[in-house]
Structure 1
Amino acid sequence: MIAYFAKHPTAANVIMFAILLLGVLSLPQLQRDTFPVTPTKNVEIRVSYPGASPQEVAQEICEPLEEALDSLSGISELQCDARENIAIANAEMSSGENIDSFTTDIQQQINSISVFPDRVEQISVTKLNRTATIASIAITGNMSAYDLYLYAQEVKQRFKNHPSIAQVSLKGFSSQEIEIRVSDWLLKQYDISISDLSRLVEQQSISLPAGLLTNQLEQANVRFDQKNTSEQAFKDSIIKSSEGGTQLLLGDIAIIQRRIYPS
Structure 2
Amino acid sequence: MSVRTPITWFVKNPVATNLLMMIFLAGGFISYLNLNQEEFPDVDFGIVQVSVAYLGATPDEAESAICLRIEEALEGAEDIDRLTSTAREGGCDATIELTSGADLNRVLNDVKGKIDAVSTFPIEAEQPIIRAFSASGNVMTLALSSNTDDAGLKLVAEQIRNDILDLDGISTVNMLTCDHSRFRLRSLKRLCVNMD
**TM-score, with structure 2 as normaliser:** 0.62
**Which amino acid in the other structure matches residue 57 of structure 1?**
A
Task: Give the distance between the partners of 2:161 and 2:17, measured in 1 at CA.
Answer: 57
Tell me the CA shift for residue 64 of structure 1.
1.2
1:15 aligns with 2:20: yes
Percent identical residues: 27
Q: Which amino acid aligns with 1:90?
A: T
Alignment of 1:124 onto 2:129: yes
Cα contact 2:54–2:124 (8 A) shared by 1: yes
1:118-156 deviation line (CA, Å, top 9, x unaligned) = 2223111111110278x88xxxxxxxxx9xxx9xx6544
Q: 1:159 aligns with which of 164, 173, 176?
A: 164
- The whole-number CA distance in structure 2 between the counterparts of 1:132 and 1:86 is 22
Q: Kindly tell me: are residues 223 and 119 of structure 1, through their superposed partners in 2, closer, same or farther at Cα, counting changes over 3 Å? A: farther
Aligned-residue CA RMSD (Å): 4.1
Spell out the pairing of 1:1-263 with structure 2 (5 A cutoff): 10-30=15-35, 38-131=43-136, 155-159=160-164, 165-167=171-173, 208=187, 210=189
Q: Aligned partners of 1:160 and 1:69: how far apart in 2?
A: 41
Higher-helix-fraction structure: 2
TM-score (norm 1): 0.48
* Structure 1 residues not aligned, in runs of 5+: 137-145, 170-204, 212-221, 225-263
Alignment coverage as a number of residue pairs: 164
Matches of 1:59 and 1:103 in 2, distance apart? Answer: 24
Which structure dedicates a bigger proportion of its chain to strand? 1
SS of match in other structure, 2:19: helix
User: Where does the alignment leave 5 or more consecutive residues of structure 2 unmatched?
Assistant: 1-5, 141-145, 147-152, 176-183
